[in-house]
Amino acid sequence: VSAVDLCIAGASEILPFRGGDGPLVGPAFRDPEVIHDGALIVSDGKIEWVGETQGLERALAGRRPARRIDTPGRVVTPGFVDCHTHIPFARGREAEFEMRIEGKSYLEIAAAGGGILSSVRHFRETSTNDLVARGREHLTAMLRGGTTSVECKSGYGLSTEHELRALEVIRALQSGPSTLVATFLGAHAIPAEHRPDPDAYVDLVVEEMLPQVARQGIARFCDVFIEEGAFSLEQGRRILTAARDCGLLLKLHVDEFHSLGGATLAAELGAVSADHLDHVSDREMRALASAGVVAVLTPGVNTFLGTAPFAPARKLVDAGVPVALATDFNPGSCMCASMETILSLACTQLRLRPIEAIAAATRNAAHACGLGDRVGRLERGFDADILVMGVEDHRTIPYHFGTSHVELVIKGGKLVHA
Ligand code: NIG
Ligand code: FE
């Protein structure tokens, strides 16, 4: 019997999202379990037991927890998993923000050499140490906001040297408290020097970058931005097939501004996730559902860019597609790293109910980035990544928006923020 690191008792609600395999879909997603007057036990950095407070003494079986936290009038949830971010980046793009307010669109700014390419210029002139320091600041703020696991993408390097450097920055950030998953997004944009011959850049990604990324083992996923002005469906297929052959798992940016058929490709290739999906068709939803691809929705992007429509979240849920939420934190299309803000937008704009939104930001988000067997749930054997929220009813979390309700953040059984 293990020693008990921590026990939590008397929570007005615990949302464990436990039981079964894989992401929550259908009825299990619509109506997850809520434990009233809940308690849990953490030993060896893992969840050992979750139940009602009245069962706690029996579960402790005479052991004295090193720390006991009483949480009356508090809601306890798994730590948030932000399954789509563009950390590392060098700095913000405030000038473009203002240009958009004045009427220029995101794609117009990108076509004129701004957008992702301005972040590429910033990235290339910033030292690795500075990028690590910047990334650490972001991850620290996110941890305080309850985000205990983060997917991080390269994609502002766009040359072999700088893409590898981005992945090295992510590797360096792994020494911090957050659980990180690295994604190679060399196919984020066609860099300026390859604009005359984009296919030559695709060759470079496939023939030079991917083999080195795979050999160094510094990314778990490969992602491609399939969009007008970025990569075509055929270019995406070529890169992702090669990535799969190198042993990488797949993610795709699809249907953010235009429908190019990327969701169908995600289903065909057995991708782990398809992200954005603002323009996904009914037929493609069925393909995603049968292939078990997680739909990662990013309502922060629509809000930040002022673009409609939002992804058809309710139709995706009804079609049986597992739905997850992420910030897409990046300097161009969503300068917001707060998962609580995303929960509010998911409720008011995507029409997810509060408990569905929280499930999408925890268990389902963990499955969207290959962490579904470790984090995202309060269930025996899972990492003890736990949030104590200063609300009595979980619905208050997205309802009272624009403020953080996070009181305590526990990561791997250790209190990392109070
Ligand atoms: O997810 N879509 C492409 N990538 C980001 C935007 C990145 C940027 O503008 O720097 C996105 O929206
Ligand atoms: Fe993105």
Digit-coded pLDDT (tens) for 249-265: 999 999 999 999 999 99
**pLDDT digit string (tens) for 10-63?**
999 999 999 999 999 999 999 999 999 999 999 999 999 999 999 999 999 999
pTM of the full structure: 0.98
- Compute, in angstroms, the gap from residue 257 CA to the centroid of ligand 2: 12
The tokens describing 365, both together, are 């988000």
Whole-number percent of the chain with pLDDT over 90: 99
- Residue 335 CA to residue 361 CA, distance in Å, equals 18
Sorting pLDDT into bands at 50, 70 and 90, what band is 112?
confident
User: Whats the size of the chain, residue-wise?
Assistant: 418
- Residue 204 CA to residue 135 CA, distance in Å, equals 27
**Is pLDDT of 109 > 90?**
yes
Average pLDDT, stretch 346-371? 98
Cβ–Cβ under 8 Å, residues 405 and 390: yes
- Compute, in angstroms, the gap from residue 334 CA to the centroid of ligand 1: 8
Q: For position 209, what pLDDT does the model report?
A: 98
- Compute, in angstroms, the gap from residue 165 CA to the centroid of ligand 2: 19
Atom of ligand 1 nearest to the CA of 119: 10
- Residue 111 CA to residue 132 CA, distance in Å, equals 29
**Which of 225, 297, 302 gets mutated to test ligand 1 (max ligand atoms within 8 A of its CB)?**
225
> Could you tell me the end-to-end alpha-carbon distance of the chain, in angstroms, rounded to an integer?
29
Q: Which residues contact 295 (CB under 8 A, 6 or more apart)?
A: 273, 274, 275, 277, 280, 288, 311, 316, 321, 322, 323, 324
**Which of 328, 329, 336 gets mutated to test ligand 1 (max ligand atoms within 8 A of its CB)?**
328
- Compute, in angstroms, the gap from residue 327 CA to the centroid of ligand 2: 9
The tokens describing 257, both together, are 């501004």
